Amino acid sequence: MSTPTIIQQPPAKQSRRALVAGSVGNFIEWYEFGIYGAFATVIAANFFTTTGASDFEALIKTYASFAIAFFFRPVGAWIFGRIGDRVGRRPTLIVVLLLMTGATTLIGLLPNYATLGITAPILLTLVRILQGLSAGGEFGGAVSIMTEFAPPGKRGRFGSWQSFTVALGLLAGAGVAALMSSILSAQDLSAWGWRIPFILALPLGLVALYLRLKLEETPNFQRATLAEKTHTADVVVSHPSKAETAKAILLGIGRLMGWSAAGYTFLVVLPSYLQTSLHATFQAALIATVLANAGFAASIIPSAILSDRWGRRPIMMAGAILITVLALPLLKILQDPGSSPWLMGAGVFIAGAVVGMMAGPGPAMLSEMFPTTVRYTGLGLAYSLSNAVFSGSAGLIITGLIASTSNKDIPAYYVMVTCIISVFALASLRGSAHKHALRD
């Protein structure tokens, strides 16, 4: 039985539409994480500062709320992944987008501790949980549609837009935060100005909703669904066992953990680290974050293009090794009061760029690990579990260890250990996976 025309390789216009629709929701998700990280100290003062508590204690509580949301990402990845693998990528991503946009907007409207008392941080944490659920469902669906719609030989490039919109979202979040801090007084920023960037998620979400409503189902999902219904002879649909899927997820976590830890340490935790440990100003910390994210963005797509030519393994392993070697020297540059602003700027830019070497090929690498029937669930769980443990907890672990040990090198050590483990996990990658079609 021949395969119907509707599930042949999609035209270029359809592929581009899928790329944009997948990217825009991801942009909103990481825009929110960017502004939450940038305003961590402000949010701590508004929601977690109680009588007799220090600013450092409030910041740790803020990061605890941050980490809790991350631990709900695997739950969201499993729930929405199962739906996405059974019902379809398109309807699932629409529901995820609505949940994400609503939760992010709500953060900008929540009363603070002075108004509601202990109820305020509880409500904030509940909203962060909703964000965690939606974020868990976003990655698997976005990467699935990007890579399943990708033209032959461009899967790395298409998948890299997931990581690229992470960079754009974090840059937009840090940029908006920097703008707000420059046009508002510190008092106004703390009182109400920090809310505006969160509320801006609403119009962004409406644009994303429009784009996703125009999206069609992926050719891989259509082909697998049709083959299941009609027993198409020339389409082999894979149904891996739970044990096989779990093994692939664990391997995916190992391959991602260095990217997760380094990405959040250099791109999100950096502002608070510079302020609390190195006593930098809020504006200086934001500038450093913008530069780190600029370096991250600059290397993502070139790294993905190279991975389409040479394979995912050499590019991602090179990134993990470089992070391991450079993490401590780059941190020392930031810690040295004698370092020039140009040297410090170059240091954080390089840190971000090296992380991008792992983030560029990463989504396509994950997509190639799972067949269509479990792809949304499998890659979503691998990514969300890695982020829950090694990203969401990064701020809490680093801040807590610095407080207890007074060792300001903790961020570098944290990144180095996770990247060393990733090097060994990445060594098991098949060198030719990028040359073959995704498994049905």
Reading the block at residue 67, the tokens are 């980490």
> What integer pLDDT is reported at residue 4 of this predicted model?
39
> What integer pLDDT is reported at residue 278 of this predicted model?
76
Give the residue among 256, 30, 17 at the shortest CA–CA distance from 150.
Answer: 17
Q: Residues 229, 232, 233, 236: what is their CA dihedral angle, to the nearest 10 degrees?
A: -70
Reading the block at residue 65, the tokens are 């709320």
Question: Exposed, middle or buried: residue 281 (CB in 10 Å: 0-12, 13-18, 19+)?
Answer: exposed
Query: Phi and psi (nearest 5°) for 132?
Result: -65, -40
* CA 187/CA 198 separation, integer angstroms: 18
> What integer pLDDT is reported at residue 371 of this predicted model?
94
> What integer pLDDT is reported at residue 2 of this predicted model?
36
For domain 9-435, the CATH superfamily is: MFS general substrate transporter like domains (1.20.1250.20)
> What integer pLDDT is reported at residue 7 of this predicted model?
43
CB 431 within 8 Å of CB 361: no
Q: What's the 3-state SS for 58-118? A: HHHHHHHHHHHHHHCHHHHHHHHHHHHHHCCHHHHHHHHHHHHHHHHHHHCCCCCHHHHCC
pLDDT block averages, 10 residues each, the chain of length 440? 45 85 87 79 77 62 70 93 95 94 92 86 88 91 94 93 88 85 88 91 92 90 84 71 94 95 82 73 78 91 96 96 94 84 86 95 96 95 91 76 86 93 94 82
Task: Please name the residues in contact with 288: beta carbons below 8 A apart, sequence gap of 6 or more.
Answer: 270, 271, 274, 280, 334, 344, 345, 348
Give the residue among 287, 228, 293 at the shortest CA–CA distance from 265.
Answer: 293
> What integer pLDDT is reported at residue 8 of this predicted model?
53
